[in-house]
């Protein structure tokens, strides 16, 4: 904008100076931070060449060791199923205890804090801790994904319960029903379909994550993948990646179908 | 009918006695300022009064959905205030309640809603699995017949109209075989014609089962028509207490204030 | 009492069950499948019973060793790694837009009307989404060697699918009116996008960017475990040397940053909207 005329000149488009300044700062930051992290143009150009060579070594994918692949995938599936089942079982009571409309605040507060901690830690970090504490293998991976599942669905359960109509709860209480019967008749009917949706979603994401925890030694296909990377077996890497993507796709389609059928 | 043993109780007696009942939601601001009421063992007792005068609070203090601050409430001579846990639940199952907005569990079937009136009686596993005793199921069917919904047992409650829902609400309350029935504005969410039908039904069924009723009601004409006894409340106190014939214009003026509306 | 029992024969012996037979069978089938899956998983999973038995004890032992955290360890090592993690998350988010914006434009069916191009762009977005950021990190470590550069690219490539998908959806929801008006006035394609589309998607755009940045802060904290820079590297070292007080320091630092990022994002979003 040239400021040749007086300040009262009318502008067709009011310039948003704050936004422009923010964009400028962002651009400056990008350049500065890139140089700080050693991201120079040379390096990127060199990397592109490397990337091309890597891709070339990945095709064609090598499915010769399909038994190893299948074993790993099955273990991932087992981890996902177990972690989802245990995670859901733990989350059901935790969700009720964390719902502020059903539990007293001195119960809901601490339970919410536990759930928040479970959610804040990345599942791979949790997996590493479990691997160090209880050893390599599927047990550590299952435990890590149980923690992640609790952090995620217990929170969603609690939120769903907090949104129910308390009038129905009041009516069931007035019949002389105890806590468990109130849950069965006034709470569960109001939240069950949403709960099933959350559980399916969690199974889906546990399946994704279970293909990964093996990278830190917690069982599943991730371990095979990491080993193949370390041995520069890039054609086997490609085969594993394709298998993982296919599994995730399949799971997404199935859970999408089931969710549509429930509606 | 198993209402028979209770019918042996003196018909002229008092089923529910409220003495000096005070409720403060915020300290120092009582909503109920020392209520004294004796509810007879028969017929309908209507509580009338302007909105916000504590009618609903009074009714909810009886089955302790609202915790009274002080005072005494006795049902057949047994004190209700101060009950806890299991004893409170045992007391609640003797008290049926019908709500203004029906408060049916919307996603359950009509039958499940009616049977939920037995929750105070059946063990947990039966409740969870819906394996109610045959006797309860037959009674639920009879009540559904009686409220005029014989074909609706397997429909979901949220598929019913307002009047139908309130009929299910009445069936649920009677399913408890209550010794007294509380009705909190049972007709306020209904159109005038349905309101009369529902009140008619409530009167008829409770008379047949020998259950006394306390009802909160806005409509003074309906109260006079169906109640044997009227309690007029204003500002958290009882202003009138007597048979409908004795309720006169000056009482109504005292209860509702002003006279333009008369 | 007659009014209730007015019809003494009809109501006798009526059956009531919660579900119809078909419903019951399908419910049982669903339960059967669930239970069978869990039983299969339990029976065939490779868990050593001794490990399972003393797992709680071992976990407790580890947590005890972590206490108290060695806070003197925070500066400079953990601090610098934390800053590097934030740089990785932020740069990764910025760079992801270089790829995400063109792909989103190609994928949005109202912007690009060539169907095969739509499908191709969607395929690219899906491919990016279905590979986890740790796997992307492994790939880029193989390409660039260990270090933050691999981390930035891993974050960027993982984010492309997420951002591109949401952006394409936002684009498809725009009102065609303003664009038609501009086209009718003879505006070139660039002006049509800038003045007709951009103002409509701008709020969604910033929302998506912030949302993804928040996720990226969490994700970049673990990239170091495979050598792609950031605080994960420090965590890995501390764990490998069994320096548990240091581990807890790092974990606390990560927790703090993650929570802080969430608060910052919520604040900014509240101001933007």
Three-state DSSP state, B16: strand
The domain that contains C198 carries what CATH number?
A: 1.10.3720.10
Count of Cβ atoms closer than 10 Å to residue C144 Cβ:
24
Q: Cα separation of B34 and B38, whole Å?
A: 13
- Strand order, beta sheet including B78-79: B29-40, B14-26, B70-75, B78-79
Give, in degrees to the nearest 5, the angle at Cα B90 between B85 and B95. 120
Residue C230, CA atoms < 13 Å, CB-side half-sphere: 33
C69 domain residue, yes or no: no
**Cα separations (Å) of A46 from A22, A52, C97, C143, C156?**
32, 10, 22, 9, 18
C196 domain residue, yes or no: yes
Assigned CATH topology for domain B15-256: Rossmann fold (3.40.50)
Name the DSSP class of B20. E
Domain of residue C97, residue span: 82-272
Q: Is the pLDDT assigned to residue B1 strictly greater than 60?
A: no
Residues of A in contact with B121 (CB under 8 A): 176
Q: Could you tell me how many CB contacts below 8 A there are between chain A and chain B?
A: 78
Q: Cα separation of B66 and B23, whole Å?
A: 9
Q: Look at A186 and B105 and tell me if their CB atoms are within 8 Å.
A: yes
Calculate how close chain C gets to B152, using CA atoms only, in Å: 12
Give me the torsion for CA of B231, B235, B239, B245, rounded to 10°: -50
In B78-152, the DSSP E strands lie at 78-79, 95-98
Q: Cα separation of A181 and B112, whole Å?
A: 13
CATH classification of A67-262 is 1.10.3720.10, yes or no?
Answer: yes
Q: Look at B142 and C2 and tell me if their CB atoms are within 8 Å.
A: no
Q: Is the pLDDT assigned to residue B174 strictly greater than 90?
A: yes
Q: Cα separation of A84 and A15, whole Å?
A: 52
Taking each helix axis from N to C end, the angle separating C198-223 and C231-240, rounded to the nearest 10 degrees, works out to 20
Q: Which two tokens stand for residue A200?
A: 């399916």
Close Cβ partners of A244 (under 8 Å, ≥ 6 residues apart)? A73, A211, A221, A225, C130, C131, C135
Taking each helix axis from N to C end, the angle separating B162-175 and B134-146, rounded to the nearest 10 degrees, works out to 140
**What does pLDDT average to over chain A?**
86
Q: Which two tokens stand for residue A257?
A: 């179908």
Closest CA to A204 of A249, A246, A160, A155: A249
Give me the torsion for CA of B208, B210, B214, B218, rounded to 10°: 20
Q: Which two tokens stand for residue C158?
A: 């993982």
For B63, name the nearest residue in chain A, comparing CA atoms only: A174
Tell me if chain A has a CB within 8 Å of the CB of C51: yes
pLDDT of residue B9: 41
Tell me if chain A has a CB within 8 Å of the CB of C54: yes
Residue A183, CA atoms < 13 Å, CB-side half-sphere: 14
Q: Are A220 and C41 in contact (CB under 8 A)?
A: no
C60 domain residue, yes or no: no
Q: Are B177 and B114 in contact (CB under 8 A)?
A: no
Three-state DSSP state, C174: coil
Q: Cα separation of B42 and A51, whole Å?
A: 90
Of A175, A185, A190, the CB nearest to B92: A175
Calculate how close chain A gets to B128, using CA atoms only, in Å: 6
C11 domain residue, yes or no: no
Tell me if chain B has a CB within 8 Å of the CB of C75: no
Distance spanning both ends of chain C, measured CA to CA? 64
Residue B112: cis peptide before it, omega within 30 degrees of 0: no
Close Cβ partners of B76 (under 8 Å, ≥ 6 residues apart)? B9, B15, B179
Taking each helix axis from N to C end, the angle separating A221-230 and A66-98, rounded to the nearest 10 degrees, works out to 130
Q: Which residue has the tokens 């830190």?
A: A216
Calculate how close chain B gets to A161, using CA atoms only, in Å: 14
Tell me if chain A has a CB within 8 Å of the CB of B30: no
pLDDT in tens, B93-139: 999 999 998 899 999 999 999 999 999 999 999 999 888 998 999 99
Taking each helix axis from N to C end, the angle separating C115-130 and A234-262, rounded to the nearest 10 degrees, works out to 100
Q: Cα separation of C61 and C57, whole Å?
A: 6
φ, ψ of residue A175 to 5 degrees: the values are -80, -5
Domain boundaries, chain A: 17-58, 67-262
Q: Which two tokens stand for residue A211?
A: 């293909």
Q: Cα separation of A82 and A79, whole Å?
A: 5
- In what helix (H) or strand (E) does residue B46 lie, and over which residues does it extend? strand B44-48
Q: Which residue has the tokens 């400056």?
A: A28
Chain B segment 149-208 residues within 8 A of C by beta carbon are 153-154, 204-205, 208
Residue A60: cis peptide before it, omega within 30 degrees of 0: yes
Count of Cβ atoms closer than 10 Å to residue C190 Cβ:
8
Contact partners for chain C, using 3 or more CB pairs closer than 8 A, are A, B
Of B112, B146, B205, the CB nearest to C18: B112
pLDDT of residue A5: 44
Name the DSSP class of C235. H
- In what helix (H) or strand (E) does residue B70 lie, and over which residues does it extend? strand B70-75
Closest CA to B116 of A96, C13, A186: A186
Residues of C in contact with A211 (CB under 8 A): 132
Tell me if chain C has a CB within 8 Å of the CB of A208: yes
For C1, name the nearest residue in chain B, comparing CA atoms only: B208
pLDDT of residue A144: 92
Question: Sign of the C-alpha dihedral, residues B232, B238, B242, B247?
Answer: negative
Calculate how close chain C gets to A173, using CA atoms only, in Å: 22
Give, in degrees to the nearest 5, the angle at Cα C146 between C142 and C148. 115
pLDDT of residue A6: 47
Q: Cα separation of C135 and B31, whole Å?
A: 65
Residue C76: cis peptide before it, omega within 30 degrees of 0: yes
Close Cβ partners of A194 (under 8 Å, ≥ 6 residues apart)? A160
pLDDT of residue A4: 44
Parts of chain C with a pLDDT under 50: 1-5, 11
pLDDT band at B2 (very low <50, low <70, confident <90, very high): very low
* Number of separate domains in chain C: 1
Give the 3-state secondary structure percentages of chain A, helix then strand then coil, rounded to 5.
Answer: 80, 0, 20
Q: Are B89 and B65 in contact (CB under 8 A)?
A: no
Close Cβ partners of C246 (under 8 Å, ≥ 6 residues apart)? C70, C73, C238
Question: Sign of the C-alpha dihedral, residues B161, B163, B168, B173?
Answer: positive
Mutate to test the interface with C, among A53, A56, A81 (most CBs of C within 10 A): A81
Q: Cα separation of A14 and A11, whole Å?
A: 6
Close Cβ partners of B121 (under 8 Å, ≥ 6 residues apart)? A176, B93, B136
Task: Say what percent of chain B tops pLDDT 70.
Answer: 94
Tell me if chain A has a CB within 8 Å of the CB of C84: yes
**What does pLDDT average to over chain B?**
87
Q: Which ipTM was obtained for this model?
A: 0.87
Parts of chain A with a pLDDT under 50: 1-7
Closest CA to B164 of B201, B112, B130: B201
C15 domain residue, yes or no: no
Chain A segment 161-220 residues within 8 A of B by beta carbon are 165, 167-168, 170-178, 180-181, 184-186, 189-190, 192
C77 domain residue, yes or no: no
Three-state DSSP state, B131: coil
Closest CA to B118 of B157, B50, B175: B175
């Amino acid at each position: 904008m040239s400021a040749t005329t007086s300040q009262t000149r009318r502008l067709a488009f009011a310039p948003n100076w704050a936004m422009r300044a923010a964009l400028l700062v962002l651009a400056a930051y990008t350049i500065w931070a890139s140089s700080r992290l050693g991201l120079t143009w040379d390096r990127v150009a060199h990397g592109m060449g490397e990337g091309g060579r890597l891709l070339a070594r990945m095709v064609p994918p090598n499915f010769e060791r399909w038994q190893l692949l299948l074993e790993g995938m099955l273990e991932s599936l087992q981890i996902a199923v177990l972690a989802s089942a245990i995670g859901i079982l733990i989350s059901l009571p935790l969700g009720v205890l964390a719902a502020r409309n059903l539990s007293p605040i001195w119960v809901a507060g601490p339970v919410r804090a536990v759930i928040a901690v479970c959610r804040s830690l990345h599942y791979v970090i949790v997996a590493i801790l479990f691997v160090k504490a209880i050893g390599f293998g599927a047990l550590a991976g299952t435990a890590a994904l149980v923690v992640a599942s609790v952090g995620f669905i217990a929170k969603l359960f609690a939120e769903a319960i907090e949104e129910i109509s308390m009038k129905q709860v009041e009516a069931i209480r007035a019949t002389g029903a105890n806590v468990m019967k109130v849950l069965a008749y006034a709470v569960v009917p109001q939240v069950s379909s949403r709960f099933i949706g959350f559980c399916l979603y969690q199974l889906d994401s546990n399946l994704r994550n279970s293909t990964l925890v093996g990278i830190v030694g917690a069982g599943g296909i991730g371990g095979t993948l990491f080993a193949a990377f370390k041995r520069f077996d890039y054609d086997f890497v490609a085969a594993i990646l394709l298998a993982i993507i296919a599994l995730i796709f399949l799971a997404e389609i199935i859970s999408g179908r089931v969710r549509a059928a429930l509606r | 009918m198993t209402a028979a043993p209770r019918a042996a109780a003196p018909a002229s007696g008092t089923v529910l006695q409220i003495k000096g009942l005070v409720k403060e939601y915020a300290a120092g601001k009582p909503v109920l300022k020392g209520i004294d009421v004796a509810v007879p063992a028969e017929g309908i007792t209507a509580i009338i009064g302007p909105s916000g005068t504590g009618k609903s609070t009074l009714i909810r203090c009886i089955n302790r959905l609202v915790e009274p601050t002080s005072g005494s409430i006795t049902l057949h001579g047994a004190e209700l205030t101060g009950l806890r846990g299991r004893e409170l639940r045992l007391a609640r199952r003797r008290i049926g309640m019908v709500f203004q907005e029906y408060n049916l569990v919307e996603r359950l079937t009509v039958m499940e809603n009616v049977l939920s009136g037995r929750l105070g009686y059946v063990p947990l596993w039966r409740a969870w699995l819906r394996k109610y005793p045959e006797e309860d199921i037959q009674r639920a069917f009879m009540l559904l017949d009686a409220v005029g919904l014989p074909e609706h047992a397997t429909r979901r409650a949220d598929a019913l109209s307002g009047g139908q829902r309130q009929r299910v609400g009445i069936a649920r309350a009677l399913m408890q075989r209550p010794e007294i029935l509380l009705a909190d504005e049972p007709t306020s969410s209904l159109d005038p014609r349905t309101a009369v039908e529902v009140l008619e039904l409530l009167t008829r069924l409770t008379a047949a089962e020998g259950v006394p009723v306390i009802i909160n009601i806005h409509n003074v004409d309906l109260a006079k028509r169906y109640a044997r006894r009227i309690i007029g409340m204003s500002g958290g106190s009882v202003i009138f207490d007597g048979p409908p014939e004795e309720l006169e214009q000056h009482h109504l003026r005292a209860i509702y204030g002003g006279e333009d509306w008369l | 009492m007659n009014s209730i029992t007015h019809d003494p024969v009809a109501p006798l012996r009526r059956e009531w069950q919660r579900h119809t037979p078909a419903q019951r069978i399908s419910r049982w089938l669903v339960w059967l499948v669930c239970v069978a899956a869990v039983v299969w998983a339990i029976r065939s999973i490779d868990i050593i019973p001794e490990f399972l038995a003393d797992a709680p004890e071992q976990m407790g032992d580890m947590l005890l060793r972590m206490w108290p955290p060695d806070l003197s360890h925070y500066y400079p090592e953990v601090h610098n790694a934390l800053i590097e993690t934030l740089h990785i998350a932020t740069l990764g988010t910025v760079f992801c837009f270089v790829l995400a914006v063109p792909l989103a434009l190609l994928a949005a069916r109202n912007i690009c009307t060539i169907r095969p191009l739509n499908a191709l762009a969607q395929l690219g977005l899906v491919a990016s989404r279905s590979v986890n950021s740790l796997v992307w990190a492994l790939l880029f470590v193989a390409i660039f060697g260990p270090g933050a550069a691999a981390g930035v690219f891993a974050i960027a490539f993982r984010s492309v699918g997420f951002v591109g998908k949401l952006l394409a959806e936002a684009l498809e929801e725009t009102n065609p009116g303003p664009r038609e008006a501009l086209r009718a006035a003879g505006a070139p394609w660039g002006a049509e996008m800038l003045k007709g589309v951009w103002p409509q998607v701008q709020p969604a755009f910033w929302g998506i960017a912030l949302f993804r940045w928040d996720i990226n802060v969490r994700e970049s904290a673990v990239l170091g475990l495979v050598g792609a820079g950031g605080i994960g590297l420090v965590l890995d070292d501390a764990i490998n040397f069994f320096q548990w007080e240091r581990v807890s320091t790092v974990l606390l630092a990560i927790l703090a940053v993650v929570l802080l990022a969430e608060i910052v994002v919520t604040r900014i979003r509240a101001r933007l909207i």
